């Protein structure tokens, strides 16, 4: 079982370029027919990521790549994994249009592994336990953090026992 640690989720001001990136990603997401895409509260995600140490970052279920892009804009070495090929292609285009080098791999994050110190996911509520078990069994390094959304306004940080 994972252990929850407190997060600093103080809402922080964002630059104009960050706001424009979020707005454009949301605009483009509405043009893609992906039945299960639910956007995160990107301002809250930005506020959670901003005070964290700049390390390797991997977004599981990266959708439009907005969180992956925000992580790169904050200085993380960022990548994302998205199962929907149309969404993955659109996210690569969004990142490129904003001059971001973060990568988006098309595939299932339960099958593809990227080493990172920070993982982010906004999974279906029925998948929470499976995601946490996947994190426990497959993620290295042992000090990695899982940022998991329990709703758009509720981001929690979980770590392996003993951390």
Higher pLDDT, 21 or 31: 21
Q: Where exactly are the structural domains of the chain?
A: 36-159
CATH level 3 topology of 36-159: Rossmann fold (3.40.50)
Q: What does pLDDT average to over the chain?
A: 92
- What is the C-alpha R_g of the chain? 15
Query: Mean per-residue pLDDT for 115-121?
Result: 96
State the Cα angle at 105 between 102 and 106, rounded to 5°: 145
Q: Are 88 and 64 in contact (CB under 8 A)?
A: no
Percent of the chain topping pLDDT 70 = 97
Query: Mean per-residue pLDDT for 2-21?
Result: 91
At 132-154, the pLDDT tens digits run: 999 999 987 789 999 999 888 89
Q: Would you state the pLDDT for residue 39?
A: 78
Q: Would you state the pLDDT for residue 85?
A: 94
At 40-73, the pLDDT tens digits run: 899 999 999 999 999 999 999 999 999 999 999 9
Residue 35 pLDDT class (50, 70, 90 cuts):
low
- Taking 90 as the threshold, does the pLDDT of residue 37 lie above it? no
Q: Are 77 and 55 in contact (CB under 8 A)?
A: yes
| CB neighbourhood size of 47 (10 A) | 19
State the Cα angle at 68 between 7 and 71, rounded to 5°: 50
Where are any strands of DSSP class E within 6-98?
56-60, 77-82
């Amino acid at each position: 079982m994972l252990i929850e640690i407190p997060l600093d989720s103080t809402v922080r001001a964002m630059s104009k370029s960050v706001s424009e990136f979020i707005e454009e990603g949301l605009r483009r997401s509405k043009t893609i027919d992906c039945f299960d895409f639910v956007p995160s509260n990107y301002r809250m995600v930005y506020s959670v990521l901003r005070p964290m140490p700049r390390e390797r970052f991997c977004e599981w279920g990266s959708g439009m790549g907005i969180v992956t892009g925000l992580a790169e804009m904050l200085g993380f070495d960022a990548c994302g994994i998205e199962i929907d090929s149309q969404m993955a292609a659109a996210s690569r285009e969004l990142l490129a249009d904003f001059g971001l080098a973060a990568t988006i791999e098309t595939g299932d994050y339960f099958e593809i592994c990227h080493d990172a110190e920070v993982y982010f996911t906004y999974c279906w509520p029925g998948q929470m336990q499976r995601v946490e078990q996947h994190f426990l069994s497959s993620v290295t390094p042992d000090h990695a953090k899982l940022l998991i959304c329990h709703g758009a306004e509720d981001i929690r940080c979980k770590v392996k026992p003993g951390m």
